[in-house]
Amino acid sequence: MNTLRLQITGMTCDHCAQTVQAALNALPGVKAEVSYKEALAEVEAPAEVAPERLVKAVQAKGYGATVLDGAGSSPTTEGGGSLHVAIIGSGSAAFAAAIRAVEEGAQVTIIETAGFIGGTCVNIGCVPSKIMIRGAHIAHLQAGHAFEGVPLNPPTIDRAAMVGQQQARVEELRQAKYQRILDANSNIQLIKGRARFENSRTLRITRPDGVETTLTPDRVLIATGARPAIPDIPGLHEPPYWTSTEALVAEQLPEHLAVIGGSVVALELAQAFLRLGSRVTILARSTLLSKEDPAIGEALVKVFEAEGARVLLHTLPDAVAHDGQEFILSSPAGEIRADALLVATGRRPNTAGLGLEAAGIETAKNGAIVIDDHMRTNVGHIYAAGDCTNQPQFVYVAAVAGTRAAINMTGGDAALDLTTMPAVVFTDPQVATVGLTEQQALDQGLDVESRTLDLDNVPRALANFDTRGFIKLVAETATGRLLGAQVLAAEGGEIIQSAALAIRNHMTVQDLADQLFPYLTMVEGLKLCAQTFTKDVKQLSCCAG
């Protein structure tokens, strides 16, 4: 007997799986079990029943079938050729998937839909924003550090020069991390154009010159990313406002920048422009970073106001107008006039125009593609990864999801566990979180306790003359097991991974308190906060164990 696995496509329910299973079991000597959820058929067949005969039995019922080898490590089509994977999009999820799929023996076609390769992160997101934020931080230190004896030197900002350097690095990374991969790998083909499903099996691609081609790949990965979401405010769709895309390459600093939004992008860019010399007004629908522990948003309001920003909570404009020179925002706080307006109210999945309905792909109300922990959509051979899905919109999530999708598309079994996903907001101080907040734990019915350590208890923060912020740990009461960490600190992004590893490895707060941490580091604050569950750290000497 031969043991084979078939990847089954076109199934939409358990009844479909039963139909395929019956068709296979009708062949002489064949024993098959078909899983709709896995889109797989596990088959035992006599040697005289060729794999092609199994495939034809499935096709006779209107479904597709691809033969995988016994180990599932060398994907092939029913004709014996390499598995063909089409990837819609060319960002982090797409390239991570392409690289792994090729390693698994597949042929890959990437369909670039945005006009440039590399996606949001390297082109208009993470990379340029962090360069701008770092430059603004340097300007802020020159103008207002806390060290006596070191003269303050408020800088003259050449924003055009900053943008030039920033975009040169963007181009360098796009070439190094994306274009060179294409140039070096003949098994990855790039097609520029707009892709649309004609049905679950066929993609129609319209190239920039209008020429149309079709693809019928064995697997499809949708990795089209997201775009800025614009709120429905009267007049907002008419004036020349900025999204983060335009703000990051603006070569002139506005005298007064109004920012609509209170989440990650809004706060990162608002503080950057503030530190480069713009006057900034923030209008937030609710609180700052409203999805985080409330103490974080409350502390950030104080930070921003101390640096000169005006922060208006629970305030959105009633209407927006532009008189040719200024934006005029009518709001409950009165009329606000600004010469630039940044709209940063979240991002919306790029799924419109893909013809998902023709393929029968399920989406959420906001257009996000619904996937499981294996990056599978409800259509067996179609997967999705990154910001176009219902997963968290972080580039590192997109990349690891792309890799796992490729493993699964080529016959493997790789799930993505996001329970210990760390997140960082690059304000100053940084916001860094992992695991559950105290309220989230209570909402899940868990009995928890928490401790909050102000940074004036952390020797490194004292040595830095910067004690803004805190570290909070959430633990299960009965066991002491660490469940979550929330950090507001100048190096929060460097601290949080230690907490993530502790949670991942089921450590207790006592385990954390007993660990060795190097003295005069910010991450030592985790140890000190863990110690507060059993003692008063104010009564300890420096670097006390």
Counted domains in the chain: 4
Q: Which of 36, 121, 162, 529 is catalytic?
A: 121
- Between 60-69, 248-257, 511-520, the lowest mean confidence (pLDDT) is in 60-69
Q: Is 144 exposed, middle or buried (0-12, 13-18, 19+ CB in 10 A)?
A: exposed
**Tens digits of residue pLDDT in 192-243:** 999 999 999 999 999 999 999 999 999 999 999 999 999 999 999 878 999 9
Looking at the fold, whether 110 and 206 belong to one and the same domain comes out as yes
Q: Kindly state whether residues 179 and 114 are assigned to the same domain.
A: yes
Q: Does residue 99 sit in the same domain as residue 175?
A: yes
Model confidence pLDDT, tens digit, residues 479-492? 999 999 999 999 99
> Is 179 inside a domain boundary?
yes
β-bridge pairing 203-206 and 194-197:
antiparallel
Taking 50 as the threshold, does the pLDDT of residue 70 lie above it? Answer: no
Assess if residue 62 is contained within a domain. yes
Same-domain check for residues 439 and 524: yes
Strand partners, 188: 108
Helices then strands, counting H and E runs in the chain, come out as: 17, 26
Catalytic residue among 16, 388, 409, 529: 16
Q: Is residue 76 part of a domain?
A: no
pLDDT at 334: 96
Shared domain check, 320 and 452 = no
Are the beta carbons of 324 and 240 closer than 8 angstroms?
no
Q: 440 exposed, middle or buried (CB, 10 Å; 0-12, 13-18, 19+)?
A: middle
Domain boundary among 315, 344, 373: 344
Q: What is the percent of the chain where pLDDT is above 90?
A: 86
Q: Which of 1, 132, 421, 542 is catalytic?
A: 542
Averaged pLDDT, 446-464: 97
Active site annotation includes 529: no
Structural domain for 15, as ranges? 2-68
Q: Are residue 107 and residue 253 in the same domain, yes or no?
A: no
In CATH, what number is assigned to the domain containing residue 48?
A: 3.30.70.100
99 falls within a domain? yes
pLDDT at 40: 87
pLDDT (0 to 100) of residue 405: 98
Confidence of residue 4 (pLDDT cuts 50, 70, 90): confident
In a domain, 197, yes or no: yes
- For residue 332, count CB atoms less than 10 angstroms from its CB and return exposed for 0-12, middle for 13-18, buried for 19 or more: exposed
The overall average pLDDT reported for the chain is: 94
β-strands 256-260, 212-215 pairing: unpaired
Residue 71 confidence (pLDDT) above 50: no
Do the Cβ atoms of 378 and 222 come closer than 8 Å? no
> Is position 63 annotated as part of the catalytic site?
yes
**Other CB atoms closer than 10 Å to residue 106's CB: what's the count?**
26
Name the nearest CA neighbour of 228 among 133, 341, 311. Answer: 341
> For 362-415, how does the pLDDT look when each residue is reduced to its tens digit (9 = 90+)?
999 999 999 999 999 999 999 999 999 999 999 999 999 999 999 999 999 999
Q: From CA 272, how far away is CA 268, in angstroms rounded?
A: 6
Residue 127 has pLDDT above 90, yes or no: yes
Looking at the predicted structure, is the pLDDT value of residue 134 above 70?
yes
Q: What's the mean pLDDT in 430-435?
A: 98
Judged against a pLDDT cut of 50, whether residue 74 lies above it is answered with no
- pLDDT at site 528: 96
**121 catalytically annotated:** yes
Would 235 be classed as within a structural domain? Answer: no
Q: Is 543 a catalytic residue?
A: yes
- Quote the pLDDT of residue 75: 54
Same domain (yes/no): 354, 334: no
**Catalytic pick among 36, 63, 178, 383:** 63
Choose the final residue of a domain: 298, 327, 344. 344
Handedness of CA 350, 356, 361, 363 (dihedral sign): positive
**Is the per-residue pLDDT at 76 higher than 60?**
no
Clarify whether residues 453 and 531 are in a common domain.
yes
Please check whether residue 527 is in contact with residue 517, taking contact to mean a CB–CB distance below 8 angstroms: yes
Determine which one of 11, 162, 522, 529 is catalytic: 11
Check whether residue 319 and residue 444 sit in a common domain: no
pLDDT at 59: 83
pLDDT-based confidence at residue 81 (cuts at 50, 70, 90): low
pLDDT value of residue 444: 97
Q: Between 64 and 341, whose confidence is greater?
A: 341
At 238 the pLDDT is 79
pLDDT band, very low/low/confident/very high, at 478 (cuts 50, 70, 90): very high
What is residue 14's predicted lDDT score, i.e. its pLDDT? 84
Q: How does pLDDT run across 332-368, given as a tens digit for each residue?
A: 999 999 999 999 999 999 999 999 999 999 999 999 9
Q: Is 162 a catalytic residue?
A: no
Domain boundary among 328, 344, 360: 344
Q: Which has the closest alpha carbon to 216: 202, 204, 196?
A: 202
User: What percent of the chain stands above pLDDT 70?
Assistant: 97
Residues 468 and 524 in one domain: yes
The string of DSSP letters for 277-342 reads T-EEEEE-SSSTTTTS-HHHHHHHHHHHHHTT-EEETT---SEEEE-SS-EEEEETTEEEEESEEE
The two structure tokens encoding residue 435: 């695991």
Q: What is the mean pLDDT of residues 18-39?
A: 91
Residue 225, φ and ψ in degrees, nearest 5: 75, -155
Q: What CATH number is given to the structural domain containing 212?
A: 3.50.50.60
Where does the pLDDT of residue 77 fall: very low under 50, low under 70, confident under 90, or very high at 90 and above? low
**What pLDDT is attached to residue 542?**
75
- Asked if the model's pLDDT at residue 288 lies above 50, the reply is yes
Closest CA to 163 of 205, 196, 122, 135: 135
Here the CATH number for the domain that contains residue 530 is 3.30.390.30
Instruction: Please check whether residues 444 and 479 belong to one and the same domain.
Output: yes
Domain for residue 75, yes or no? no
> In this structure, are 403 and 432 located in the same domain?
no
| 233 is a domain residue | no
| Residue 72 confidence (pLDDT) above 60 | no
